[in-house]
Amino acid sequence: MIPSQTDQEMIDLIISQLKERGHHLSPEEVDLIIGLIKEKVLFHYIDQVIHQADTILDINPSLTEKEILEVLARNVVEFLGAEAASIRIYNPKREEMVSFGSYPSESEDREKVIPLEDTIAGDVVKNRRSYFVPNILKEEKYKSKEKVEKYGIHSMLALPISIPRFSLKDVDTEGCLQIYFKEEGRVFTPLEVRITEMLARRVSYVIARKRIMDLQKLSVTKDRIVEQIFLKLGKRGGVKMKEVFDLVIPELVDIMRIQRCSLFSVMEDRKHVVLEAGFPELQHGIGKVFEVANAPYIQTIVDQIGPFGEFENEKIFPTYLHILNPQKSHLLPPDLKRFLEIQNIHSVLYIPLKVNGKVQYFLTFDAQAQHPGFTEEEIEIFTLFGKELMKGLRLEKMDDILHDFKNPAIAVAGFAKRIQKILNDGEYQNQKSKVDQALDIILKETSRIQELALTLHGEGREEIIDLSERLKKRAMINEETLVELRRDNIQLIERELESPLWIRCYPLHIERVLDNLLNNASNAIPEGGGFLSIRAYQREEWAVAEISNTGQISEEDKERYLHGEGKGRGLHITTRLVKRMGGKMVMESGEGQTTFRVMFPLVFT
């Protein structure tokens, strides 16, 4: 075999260096040695290199990016016979190098953050080339000498890590892989440096594959969210947000291990927000009202006041607010911190939802797991979920309104028939007062139906009203409804109605509550008939409306009904509105009858 020019140059170089050391070999002998090295040594070495590269390329892309880089660190340590390796990633916003894992597992005394300037890791990132440290204890740029001395580390090789951006939204990820050795004065050969750099570059392919898979998973998650909500909204029987949450939350678990999720709406005055729905529902005060000014986190979300950016305990941006450390965040009030601590919540994410440029709703996600951050794609998923919930909430309100149309509509029809009969019988002059009363009720109830429809766009205005007077009027409307439904075997009993009992509320809300309780009580009376009684009185600082009926419910159903989980929508609507008005509801059942009491804070005038 005739050696190539390169081989001949290598043979000449080896012969001259051997002569300097007193060894005299012929060109043929050197050529034979080179051939043996190629056949026996290089094959084994290159096979090891290929195996290491394949091992990195075979890293499971379902791991987190930190875990992927830690696997790289382990492979490099094993290949080079090193003691340990650590990874630092450059944070361009703060111009610092952040600890991002190590092998063996990260020690507790490792500095989480080091500056970009005047550090080895910073030098590697800025110059994008490897840095050799034969003696760490003599290296000026390595500050924590006592720590490496403690572990018997004397030399280090630092390599650049670069993961190209994956989309126009991303930026390149730059970092440094630091490999530690016990040898003092270690010489790093060009071959092992080049191979190690090649292994570090291969990890970028794994992360690229991971990001492709993550995007596919996010796309599937989006489709599943839309599909689940579409199927639920398309079912007959109306929409309940509880059921929507129960369907969709499992689709989000891969992104964030969610313990609790809530949907808030901003009231017309923009000074208050209302808890509209939550998961799991029993852990939430659905209908509860919060003042924006008393909760800095709500004010930050609703008013979009900033300052925006990444801070020690929070990440604040127009598209989300991420509380990294709930117990140290200045945005959370003490009572909320205590609650989160009891629930073992370590991460809270808030997603504002805008309508016509203003935040009208926001979502909250509580998680026991630590979440250092979320990608823009993940935030997009949460936002999509929020927008679909907004649609569901509006449909739920429409279903509630349609449900509450029933009583006034039936009453209007009944009074209209009564007037028609009087007119047909020619009794108008003799029964003018009854016609006037019926017309007044028809006018008020049709106005009320109109107000119900308008609640989709606003709540109207709060007023101070007499609870006793409203209960008496709604009982009369319910009585007319029973006449229309031919339930003439139900006796209405009007017990004590202490008046006035002043409460502050939206009048439509209290009327909907009373209508639903009266309607449910009427429906619960057996076919054979019975009684329906009303009562209103003061108990300490509460105004109480009491509705009793013939019929008894089981103990196991009592708690379920109080949480609005009956078969129909009435109790579901009632429990939410009662909470919204700062009230409470209790129920007693026994000895053949059931009593519901709704209580509201008295207004002392």
CA 238, chain centre distance (Å): 25
pLDDT in the model for residue 457: 54
In eight-state DSSP terms, residue 284 is S
Q: Report whether pLDDT(284) > 70.
A: no
- The fourth-level CATH superfamily of domain 220-388 is GAF domain (3.30.450.40)
Rounded Cα distance between 382 and 375, Å, is 11
108 — pLDDT class (breaks 50, 70, 90): very low
Rounded Cα distance between 250 and 232, Å, is 15
From the list 299, 286, 260, the residue with the least C-alpha distance to 400 is 286
From the list 543, 578, 554, 552, the residue with the least C-alpha distance to 564 is 578
CATH topology of domain 63-212: Beta-Lactamase (3.30.450)
CATH topology of domain 462-605: Heat Shock Protein 90 (3.30.565)
- Residues in contact with 80: Cβ distance below 8 Å, sequence separation at least 6, in sequence order: 157, 179, 181, 192, 196
Q: Report whether pLDDT(375) > 80.
A: no
Strand pairing category for 309-310 and 314-317 = antiparallel
On the question of a common fold for 220-388 and 462-605, the answer reads no
- pLDDT-wise least confident of 102-116, 214-228, 323-337, 580-594: 214-228
Rounded Cα distance between 385 and 367, Å, is 17
Beta carbons of 231 and 264 less than 8 angstroms apart: no
Beta carbons of 498 and 528 less than 8 angstroms apart: no
In degrees and rounded to multiples of 5, residue 389 shows phi and psi of -65, -35
pLDDT in the model for residue 285: 65
Helix, strand, or coil (residue 339): helix
Longest CA–CA span in the chain (Å) reads 141
**Taking the domains of the chain in order of start, what are their residue ranges?**
1-58, 63-212, 220-388, 462-605
In degrees and rounded to multiples of 5, residue 553 shows phi and psi of -115, 160
Strand pairing category for 502-505 and 289-291 = unpaired
459 — pLDDT class (breaks 50, 70, 90): low
For residue range 394-440, what is the model confidence (pLDDT) as tens digits? 766 666 666 666 777 777 777 788 788 888 878 877 888 888 877 88
Higher-confidence residue of 302 and 605: namely: 302
% of the chain residues with pLDDT over 90: 16
pLDDT in the model for residue 501: 93
Mean pLDDT over 54-58 rounds to: 79
**Cα dist from 284 to 8, 261, 394, whole Å:** 82, 9, 20
**Strand partners of residue 258:** 367
Per-residue exposure over 539-563, b if at least 16 CB sit within 10 Å of its own CB, e if not: eeebbbbbbbbbbeeeeeeeeebbe
In degrees and rounded to multiples of 5, residue 269 shows phi and psi of -75, -10
Cis status, amide bond into 104, omega within 30 of 0: yes
For residue range 215-271, what is the model confidence (pLDDT) as tens digits? 666 666 666 666 666 555 555 555 566 666 766 676 676 666 777 888 888 888 888
Mean pLDDT over 461-482 rounds to: 87
**Cα dist from 78 to 84, 103, 153, 361, whole Å:** 9, 10, 16, 53
Give me the helix-helix angle, 27-36 and 5-20, nearest 10°.
110
pTM over 0.85: no
Residue 370's Cβ-side half-sphere holds a number of Cα atoms within 13 Å equal to 4
Beta carbons of 332 and 323 less than 8 angstroms apart: yes
From the list 193, 111, 205, the residue with the least C-alpha distance to 157 is 193
From the list 210, 249, 211, the residue with the least C-alpha distance to 229 is 249
